[in-house]
Chain A
Amino acid sequence: MKGKAFLAVLVIVLLFASTASAKVTLRFFYPVGVAGPLVKVINGMVAKFEKENPGVDVEPVYAGNYNQTMQKVQTALLGGNPPDIAVVEISELYSLLQMNALIPLDNYVEREGGKSFLANYFEGFLGNAYGRDRKIYGIPFQRSTPILYWNKDMFRAAGDKLKAAGLDPNRPPETWGELVEYAKILTIREGSQTKQYGLIIPGGWNDWIFEAFSRQNGSQLLKEDGLTVTFDSPENLEALKLWVKLMQELKVCPVLRPWNITPDDFIGGVTAMMYYSTGGMAKIRKTAKFEWGAAFQPKKKQYGTPVGGGDFHIFKGIPKENQDASWKFAKFMSRPDMAAHWSIESGYVAVNKKSYELPELIDFLKKFPQMTVARDQLKYAYPKMMAVNYQLIRNAMTTNLDAALEGKKTPEEALKDAHKLMVEAIKGS
């Protein structure tokens, strides 16, 4: 009799214990889109979150670069097994919405204070958080703009030549015209070898870079509705012609350098200037052995860039506790101190305005003022283009841009062909 009673108590205790300690486990997919050992940083932040929130376990799943992560997310969705929370490239939002994959976050935002909560984030970053139904689906996390990096030592070395051309060796170019002139002087050739390039504009994300050119010339590639294609415009043609001129005619910029290794080229002293994401800054900061600066990308009609990076999204088809816990996680990661930490470790812009009031970020920015450039450029930044089936559209853009940059198609042809393919992709034919 004693035995049975003991057993009964044991069972009850176990039952109670198992329900009481029901932990929520979140699967978190995320990409790393720039150079650097950022997986470790994410793991550290996740560990801190788990410490502060003992009822929640987060399983961070590093899913590759932006493309691979999006593919993994979509494949998981199709397999009926969505992650709980994920960071994907901002242009993909409409695709996820088309797949009916995300929950709107308006209720959570309201509970946190609505507009005052959102005011914590830079407006430039919130532009890509909304669906066509004007509901909010994303919380900014790793955000960037493309910027211009310049090698101060190389500029000084070319000081005489620059001054002779009426250019100041102590500052980087500010307009397209200046960009060409500086690049020409800063390109050093020995025989048939180019010992030093004036500028490197990488391939890979050349659609993002091209959108920057487009904005600088007062145009855009795709309208905000994600349906109207404006790729083939006279301003964009001017932009593409400039780009092709730098590569093919003046040869101050190598053709189609892979995105990944472009920071290597800058660090290795292969080029005097580089267009790249601010997200690559941590690597450059840690390994460059020369004095370098960062600046707004040169303007034509205006300064202008798209923003870049990825937001947090929370998925449908998961239990309510998971959604609530995911919201906690997203809030945590974009908290002032966490956002500052992430920015310092990566080079991305801290998405939370309050981060800039924290002593550790203030000190850091005093030492590395280059990190403020992307944030300041937000004044001139526009949301990145979004569309359903963005992968297909992106493919159309990069294939044709590549062809033009290699000199295989004329800029006019490339723009027309890309434009046609983009329209088709959107129509769904």
Chain B
Amino acid sequence: MEEKKYEVVVKIFILQVAAIIMILPFIWLISTALKSASEVFTENLSLIPEQFRWGNFAAIMDQAPFWLYMGNTIIVCVGILVIQLLLVIPAAYAFARLDFPGKDVMFLLFVIQIMLPLESIIIPNYLITKKLGILNTRTGLILPFVASGFGTFMLRQTFKQVPNALEDAALIDGAGHLRFIWHVLIPLSRPTIVTFSMISIATHWNDYFWPLIITDVDRVRTLTIGLGMFVQQESGSDWSLLMAATLFVCAPIIAFFLATQKTFIKNFLTSGIKG
């Protein structure tokens, strides 16, 4: 099937326009981050700053410990992911391969959790976290997210697609269930696991509401909260510093996804996220 030439041209035109419109805000962000404070105060739309003020980034460090926030965010994201995988892989396996009474009901419990994100039940979760004494701790930032219905659902689907024969063969050879999972199932499900991991990291890198509620000290503050508070500090007035801080907060995750783009796209498209 040949695509008519004009169809191709139209298609590329639409995509280019869309791409530019979507990227424009980010370019504006970078441009402002490199301007000086007073340069921002004009009605002239200049994309290129008069002087490239790399010093803006040092200046934001001065105002708030952004490196500390970054460290906290990394610890929390990695913590969440690791525990998620530890919980979700066995659970998905049980649902995919084993038979036991109550299986359907329990699976339903996991699936319904997808529709009940933390934000919707934040009030009682706050009270429970308080009772457990983990307010203002990184543990408190991690634990509420570890039981992922979404991950369980995705992995169960993928596990189901691994042929039974493989498993039977492994078991006959004397390998236990755990060895089977580790040596066979997980490698075969790599696209899904990779996709899930990347989505988990991207999601929790961006957590805001929960840390807002349960932390109030710099010691455990995360990047997003640090950024939010920075706004108030500058009272929206020093846009150049504010955009520099915003850029700082976005940069790691964008860099990460750019560096892994081929892997991510390939894995995402074959992961089975399609219903």
Of residues 11 to 53 in B, which have CB atoms within 8 Å of A's CB atoms?
Answer: 37-38, 41
Contact residues on B (Cβ < 8 Å of other chain), bracket: 20 to 34
Please tell me which one of the listed residues B136, B216, B238 contacts residue A63 in the complex, with CB atoms under 8 A apart.
B216
- Taken together as a complex, chains A and B put the C-alpha atoms of A59 and B217 apart, in Å, by 9
Residues of A within 8 A of B63 (CB): 37, 39-40
A-B CB proximity, top 7 nearest: A260-B236, A35-B235, A260-B235, A35-B237, A65-B232, A72-B216, A268-B41
- Taken together as a complex, chains A and B put the C-alpha atoms of A63 and B64 apart, in Å, by 12
Q: Across the interface, do B41 and A261 meet the contact criterion of CB distance under 8 Å? A: no
Residues of B within 8 A of A35 (CB): 234-237
A394 at the interface (CB under 8 A from B): no
Q: Across the interface, do B237 and A75 meet the contact criterion of CB distance under 8 Å? A: no
State the B residues within 8 Å of A (CB): 37-38, 41, 62-64, 130, 135-136, 213, 216-218, 228-229, 232-238
Q: Across the interface, do B233 and A32 meet the contact criterion of CB distance under 8 Å? A: yes
- Taken together as a complex, chains A and B put the C-alpha atoms of A36 and B241 apart, in Å, by 12
- Taken together as a complex, chains A and B put the C-alpha atoms of A122 and B247 apart, in Å, by 44
Residues of A within 8 A of B62 (CB): 40
Q: Mark A8-36, 1 if CB is under 8 A from B, else 0.
A: 00000000000000000001010010111
Contact A34:B218 (CB < 8 A) given known A62-B229, A267-B41: no
State the A residues within 8 Å of B (CB): 27, 29, 32, 34-40, 59, 61-65, 68, 72, 75-76, 78-79, 81, 258-261, 263-264, 267-268, 283, 287
- Taken together as a complex, chains A and B put the C-alpha atoms of A81 and B235 apart, in Å, by 28
- Taken together as a complex, chains A and B put the C-alpha atoms of A59 and B236 apart, in Å, by 25
A-B contact pairs, 11 of them (CB 8 A): A32-B232, A34-B235, A37-B234, A61-B218, A62-B229, A62-B233, A68-B232, A79-B130, A81-B135, A264-B41, A287-B37
- Taken together as a complex, chains A and B put the C-alpha atoms of A24 and B102 apart, in Å, by 56
Contact A287:B235 (CB < 8 A) given known A40-B62, A81-B135, A81-B136: no
Contact A37:B233 (CB < 8 A) given known A79-B130, A264-B41: yes
CB distance from B168 to the nearest CB of A (A): 54
- Taken together as a complex, chains A and B put the C-alpha atoms of A237 and B65 apart, in Å, by 48
Please tell me which one of the listed residues B135, B229, B233, B236 contacts residue A258 in the complex, with CB atoms under 8 A apart.
B236
Q: Across the interface, do A287 and B38 meet the contact criterion of CB distance under 8 Å? A: yes
Residues of B within 8 A of A59 (CB): 217
Residues of A within 8 A of B41 (CB): 264, 267-268
Please tell me which one of the listed residues B135, B136, B237 contacts residue A263 in the complex, with CB atoms under 8 A apart.
B237
Residues of B within 8 A of A29 (CB): 216
CB distance from A381 to the nearest CB of B (A): 24
Contact A76:B235 (CB < 8 A) given known A40-B63, A64-B229: no
- Taken together as a complex, chains A and B put the C-alpha atoms of A35 and B233 apart, in Å, by 7
- Taken together as a complex, chains A and B put the C-alpha atoms of A264 and B228 apart, in Å, by 20
- Taken together as a complex, chains A and B put the C-alpha atoms of A314 and B31 apart, in Å, by 45
- Taken together as a complex, chains A and B put the C-alpha atoms of A258 and B37 apart, in Å, by 19
Residues of A within 8 A of B228 (CB): 64
Please tell me which one of the listed residues A63, A75, A258, A267 contacts residue B213 in the complex, with CB atoms under 8 A apart.
A75
Q: Which of B62, B135, B229, B235 has the most CB of A within 10 A?
A: B235
Please tell me which one of the listed residues A65, A72, A261 contacts residue B237 in the complex, with CB atoms under 8 A apart.
A261
Residues of A within 8 A of B136 (CB): 79, 81
- Taken together as a complex, chains A and B put the C-alpha atoms of A36 and B213 apart, in Å, by 26
Residues of B within 8 A of A39 (CB): 63-64, 233
- Taken together as a complex, chains A and B put the C-alpha atoms of A78 and B131 apart, in Å, by 11
- Taken together as a complex, chains A and B put the C-alpha atoms of A339 and B194 apart, in Å, by 57
Q: Across the interface, do A261 and B236 meet the contact criterion of CB distance under 8 Å? A: yes
Residues of A within 8 A of B237 (CB): 35-36, 260-261, 263-264, 283
CB distance from A332 to the nearest CB of B (A): 22
- Taken together as a complex, chains A and B put the C-alpha atoms of A122 and B130 apart, in Å, by 41
Chain B minimum-CB-distance residue to A32: B233
CB distance from A70 to the nearest CB of B (A): 12
